[in-house]
Amino acid sequence: MKKSLNQKLINIIEYYNLINANFFLSNSPLKRTSKNKNSAFVGSKSEKLHKLKKIISLIKNCDLKKNATNLVFGDGNINSKIMIIGEGPGANEDAQGKPFVGRAGKLLDKMLDSIKLDRTKVYISNVVNYRPPENRRPSDFEINRYLPYLKTHIEIINPKILLLLGSTALNTLIGNHEVISKARGKWIQKEIGTANPWIIASFHPAFLMRQPEQKKLAWIDLKMIREKAKILKI
């Protein structure tokens, strides 16, 4: 009993350290325009990612976390200038704690291979970091809860190209009014915190497995990424 109380206290202290308690406990005025709002995230890229992962692991009262086996944070090359965002982990991802390792992941690997990319050359994450039960779409509430983490994740990776796979990633980062079939295959540049990537949306590999005739459009998007990477000298 005593031990678990101590452990709880340690967790609370660790949590407040991670989220930089001074930020809201100090008397000094908040600089809302400051670019450096993620001052809790200091250190090397991998240290920042480690901190972010720790913060997500401490999330409370989350039905996604309650029902999941593992936190699925990210995979690939943290120094890559190409970041890919999916929707949320499925059963295989939940079991292995890694994004896109199931059937959709195999197709994603093939898509990347077609433009000479692989997981050593890109970085992959999801809108939510715990598997939604029955692979349902995460609710708006869940998406909004994880959005600050996703934005910080993008800031830390700081990609030049951001590929959004499917409507959930598109709607989360670009806007709810967008429809994937219309918005795909178009470049927009958008500030996400301190990052300012070129963003393109394309079909989610799970959708392409159900509708393989759409692969020809996904191929157009992939070629656009290949071209952009050339122009940006990635």
Binding positions for ligand URA, 112-131, rule CB under 6 A: 126
CA distance 205 to 199: 18
52 binds ligand URA (CB under 6 A): no
Site for ligand URA in 192-221 (CB under 6 A): 206
- From candidates 90, 132, 138, 159, binder to ligand URA by CB under 6 A: 90
Q: How far is the CB of 158 from ligand URA (least distance, A)?
A: 21
Residues in contact with ligand URA, counted by CB under 6 A, come to a total of: 13
Contact region with ligand URA (CB under 6 A), list: 8-16, 59-67, 96-104, 186-194: 96-104
Out of 73, 100, 146, 149, which residue is the one contacting ligand URA (CB under 6 A)? 100
132 makes contact with ligand URA (CB under 6 A): no
Of residues 211, 149, 136, the one with CA closest to residue 18? 149
User: In the sheet where 123-126 sits, what is the strand order?
Assistant: 75-76, 123-126, 82-86, 161-165, 198-202, 188-189
Residue 217 in tokens: 């459009």
- Closest by Cα among 196, 152, 150 to 171: 150
Which part of the chain contacts ligand URA (CB under 6 A), choosing from 35-43, 49-57, 99-107, 109-117? Answer: 99-107
Bridging pattern class, strands 82-86 and 123-126: parallel
Ranked by CB distance to ligand URA, the top (closest) residue is 86
Buried b (16+ CB within 10 A) or exposed e, 6-25: eeeeeeeeeeeeeebeeeee
In the structure, how many helices (H) and strands (E) does the chain have? 11, 6
Q: Which stretch binds ligand URA (CB under 6 A): 47-55, 102-110, 142-150, 188-196?
A: 102-110
Applying CB under 6 A, the residues found at the interface with ligand URA are: 86-90, 93, 99-100, 102, 104-105, 126, 206
